[in-house]
């Protein structure tokens, strides 16, 4: 309730009463000339569809793998025809579980290498249940630099509650194989605020992560999306979700744990150790998304491919881009999009902020208030969120995602080519 009020108020103050986020049906986008861009590749297949997962995914289906791969290759080709041999500053392969189609990933990466000049890291996410030595060897052969493994918990009981298809021993062996394979970084995802979980359980997971030596640990509180089946699934199990005060305490413990153990906070949720590069899926400024439901952000437009795997394949294989919805990025939106992700980073470069927002009085007042409330502080030439600030900003961002982004996604999941979605 309070969070809802805060989100609405902030949106109203910053973006204005009239400003709506409007996505409209678009078949084609005029792709401007670019010299470089980041790429996101979406692989929707999962061997085990977790009940809490909100992402666009389908059951692994051997009959769809070939057509889907051909569609992805065709979409890459179409961007190549429009953009020419430009630089690809990073590739992020997400899902779903991309490694379910390991050999096809080799073909996709090879095609990108042939057409473009890859100048940055190749990052991939996968799950502990899907990893083995053969898959890791192939990823290394394809030139993958950074890997993120969905572990979620090192406790068999919580893995069961989450509907994961492996146990803690398998999770440890998957992470160990990855860690001994010279990736530039191995991130593990953990989830907390799980039904029935207490602080000691969370600390047990963190200690396991520390012991195993992951370069980065990303800890997400379980949030339930209305369109995921987690609500139904958890109700059946009659378990109690931690409330906001428990959540607050858990985040504080997590933050302190990593600080005491020499990890540096690299996002609201992520903590990394040493000089390895930061693993991050979402903080890039502009990118092209390939695959069903993939989003693209170009300088002045944000657009989404159709979420339906079948329609994605059909549209792409007839030689067109599978774009379903687009939203123009007004100068105001561009600025706030940038700010949203800097809050996610938990620090903001003061000079960049000044360049983008000039003398924006509302923003100045907000930052002063945040400092007064102990949510942010000046740190050299940066404004940095405190631990408390990171927690509350995270709550607001979660709420924003659930209220706004969730509505776009759930509508786009129901209908392949919606006319308009307004939020
Ligand atoms: C795109 S998912 C990758 C999932 C990967 N295929 C796996 O099975 O582990 C990225 C991460 O988001 C987190 N996540 C997914 N659903 C979530 C939810 N409902 N609440 C909180 N975190 C979630 C998980 O930690 C997951 O590893």
Give the Å distance between the CA of 43 and the centre of ligand 1.
14
pLDDT of residue 317: 94
pLDDT at 20 over 60: yes
Distance 190 CA to ligand 1 centre (A): 9
Mean pLDDT, residues 201-223: 95
- Between 203 and 223, where is the model more confident? 203
User: Does position 230 have pLDDT exceeding 70, yes or no?
Assistant: no
Question: What is the rounded average pLDDT of the residues 282-297?
Answer: 88
Looking at the predicted structure, is the pLDDT value of residue 342 above 80? yes
- Distance between Cα 204 and ligand 1 center (Å): 20
Residue nearest to atom 1 of ligand 1 (CA): 95
Residue 293 in any domain: the answer is no
Mutate to test the pocket of ligand 1, among 42, 43, 53, 291 (most ligand atoms within 8 A of CB): 53
Q: What is the mean pLDDT of residues 262-286?
A: 85
Give the pLDDT confidence score for residue 332 in this predicted structure: 83
Confidence of residue 236 (pLDDT cuts 50, 70, 90): very low
Q: Is the pLDDT of residue 89 over 60?
A: yes
Look up the domain containing 215 and give its range.
22-272
CATH (domain of 135): 3.80.30.20
Q: Residue 148: which pLDDT band, with cuts at 50, 70 and 90?
A: very high
Choosing from 51, 101, 150, 279 the residue with most ligand 1 atoms within 8 A of its CB, the one to mutate for a pocket test is: 150
pLDDT band at 170 (very low <50, low <70, confident <90, very high): very high
* pLDDT at residue number 8: 58
Q: How confident is the model at residue 7 (pLDDT cuts 50, 70, 90)?
A: low
> How far is the centre of ligand 1, averaged over its atoms, from the C-alpha of 72 (Å)?
23
Q: What pLDDT band is residue 276 in, cutting at 50, 70 and 90?
A: confident
Q: What is the number of the ligand 1 atom nearest to the C-alpha of 129? A: 8
Number of domains into which the chain is organized: 1
pLDDT at 46: 96
54 pLDDT band (50/70/90 cuts)?
A: confident
Atom 20, ligand 1: residue with shortest CA distance: 222
Ligand 1: distance of its center to the CA of 130 in Å? Answer: 14
Structural domain includes residue 172: yes
Q: How far is the CA of 53 from the centre of ligand 1 (A)?
A: 6
Whole-number mean pLDDT of the chain?
89
The pLDDT tens digits for 388-405 are: 999 988 888 777 777 777
pLDDT given at position 12: 58
Closest residue by CA, ligand 1 atom 27: 150
pLDDT at 50 over 70: yes
Please indicate whether residue 59 or residue 393 has the higher confidence score (pLDDT): 59
What's the rounded mean pLDDT across residues 17-35?
A: 82
Percent of the chain, pLDDT > 90? 61
Q: What is the mean pLDDT of residues 293-311?
A: 95
Ligand 1: centre distance to CA 33 (Å): 34
**Least confident among 105-114, 132-141, 412-421:** 412-421
Ligand 1 binding site (Cβ under 6 Å of any ligand atom): 52-55, 94-95, 97, 125, 127, 150, 152, 189, 191, 220, 222-223
Could you tell me which residue, 287 or 243, shows the higher pLDDT? Answer: 287
What is this structure's pTM? 0.91
Q: How far is the CA of 132 from the centre of ligand 1 (A)?
A: 20
Within a domain: residue 160?
A: yes
288 in a structural domain: no
**Mean pLDDT, rounded, for 198-204:** 96
Q: Which atom of ligand 1 is nearest to the CA of 223?
A: 20
> What average pLDDT score do residues 358-369 get?
82
Residue 399 forms part of a structural domain: no
Q: Domain for residue 244, yes or no?
A: yes
Please give the pLDDT value at position 401. 75
State the pLDDT at residue 368.
Answer: 87
Q: How far is residue 229's CA from residue 13's CA, in Å, rounded to a whole number?
A: 34
- Domain membership of residue 314 (yes or no) is no
| pLDDT tier, 411 (very low <50, low <70, confident <90, very high otherwise) | confident
Share of the chain above pLDDT 70, in %: 90
User: pLDDT tens for residues 96-135?
Assistant: 999 999 999 999 999 999 999 999 999 999 999 999 999 9
In a domain, 114, yes or no: yes
Q: Span 166-174, mean pLDDT?
A: 97
């Amino acid at each position: 309730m309070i969070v809802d009020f805060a989100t609405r108020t902030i949106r109203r103050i910053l973006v204005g009463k009239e400003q709506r986020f409007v996505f409209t049906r678009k078949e084609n986008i005029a792709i401007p000339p670019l010299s470089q861009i980041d790429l996101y590749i979406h692989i929707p297949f999962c061997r085990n569809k977790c009940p809490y997962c909100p992402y666009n995914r389908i059951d692994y289906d051997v009959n769809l793998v070939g057509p889907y791969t051909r569609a992805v290759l065709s979409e890459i080709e179409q961007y190549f025809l429009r953009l020419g041999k430009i630089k690809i500053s990073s590739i992020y392969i997400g899902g779903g579980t991309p490694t379910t189609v390991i050999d096809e990933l080799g073909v996709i990466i090879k095609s990108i290498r042939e057409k473009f000049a890859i100048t940055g890291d190749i990052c991939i996410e996968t799950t502990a249940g899907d990893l083995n030595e053969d898959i890791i060897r192939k990823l290394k052969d394809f030139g993958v630099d950074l890997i993120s493994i969905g572990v979620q918990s090192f406790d068999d009981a919580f893995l069961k509650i989450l509907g994961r298809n492996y146990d803690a021993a398998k999770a440890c062996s998957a992470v160990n194989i990855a860690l001994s394979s010279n990736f530039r970084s191995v991130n593990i995802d953990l989830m907390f605020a799980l039904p029935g979980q207490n602080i000691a359980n969370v600390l047990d997971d963190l200690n396991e992560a520390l012991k195993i030596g992951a370069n980065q640990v990303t800890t997400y509180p379980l949030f339930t999306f209305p369109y995921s089946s987690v609500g139904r699934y958890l109700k059946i199990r009659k378990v109690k979700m931690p409330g906001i005060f428990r959540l607050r305490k858990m985040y504080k413990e997590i933050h302190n744990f990593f600080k005491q153990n020499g990890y540096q906070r690299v996002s609201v949720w992520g903590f990394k150790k040493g000089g390895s590069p930061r693993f991050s899926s979402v903080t890039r400024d502009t990118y092209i998304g390939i695959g069903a439901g993939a989003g693209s952000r170009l300088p002045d437009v944000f657009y989404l491919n159709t979420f339906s795997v079948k329609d994605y394949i059909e549209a792409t294989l007839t030689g067109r881009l599978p774009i379903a919805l687009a939203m123009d990025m007004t100068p105001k939106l561009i600025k706030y999009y940038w700010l949203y992700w800097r809050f996610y980073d938990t620090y903001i470069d003061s000079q960049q902020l000044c360049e983008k927002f000039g003398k924006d009085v509302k923003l100045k007042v907000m930052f002063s208030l945040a400092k007064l409330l102990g949510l942010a502080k000046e740190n050299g030439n940066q404004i940095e969120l405190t631990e408390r600030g990171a927690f509350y900003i995270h709550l607001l961002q979660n709420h924003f995602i659930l209220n706004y982004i969730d509505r776009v996604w759930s509508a786009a999941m129901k209908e392949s080519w919606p006319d308009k979605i307004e939020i």
